[in-house]
Amino acid sequence: MRINKLTLPALCCLLVATAPVAVAGGDPAAGRNKAGNCIGCHGITSYSNVYPTYSVPRLGGQHPEYIVAALQAYKNGDRKHTTMHAQAADLSDQDMQDIASYFATFSAE
């Protein structure tokens, strides 16, 4: 079988694009242990909390950089949501990276 000179680079790109993504420095195994509170709301399809009602997004398959940025914004008050501010308040940067890496291991559904 003869391989076209573009086949190998194309296959490499495909492998990189479909590999589970992790945040640099994030540990998905550690994130699993830290994400217990997150799963309670963000692991349930079509979950909404009570008054005021917010639709809660699923985090599985979300870009880890987005999760880290969102958690940092909740922690420092740039994003307003009382519950999320409380959840993010005690998270270190490493905790955020670990949690984001954990959720990145799931497929988006």
Range of the domain at 87: 21-104
Residue-level pLDDT at 100: 96
CATH code of the domain covering residue 95: 1.10.760.10
Residue-level pLDDT at 15: 46
Q: Give the residues of the chain that fall short of pLDDT 50.
A: 13-22
Q: Which two tokens stand for residue 73?
A: 């914004």
Q: CA 91, 76, 103, 55 torsion: positive or negative?
A: positive
100 is a domain residue: yes
16 is a domain residue: no
80 is a domain residue: yes
> Is residue 67 within 8 Å of residue 28, measured between CB atoms?
no
Residue-level pLDDT at 6: 59
Total domain count, the chain: 1
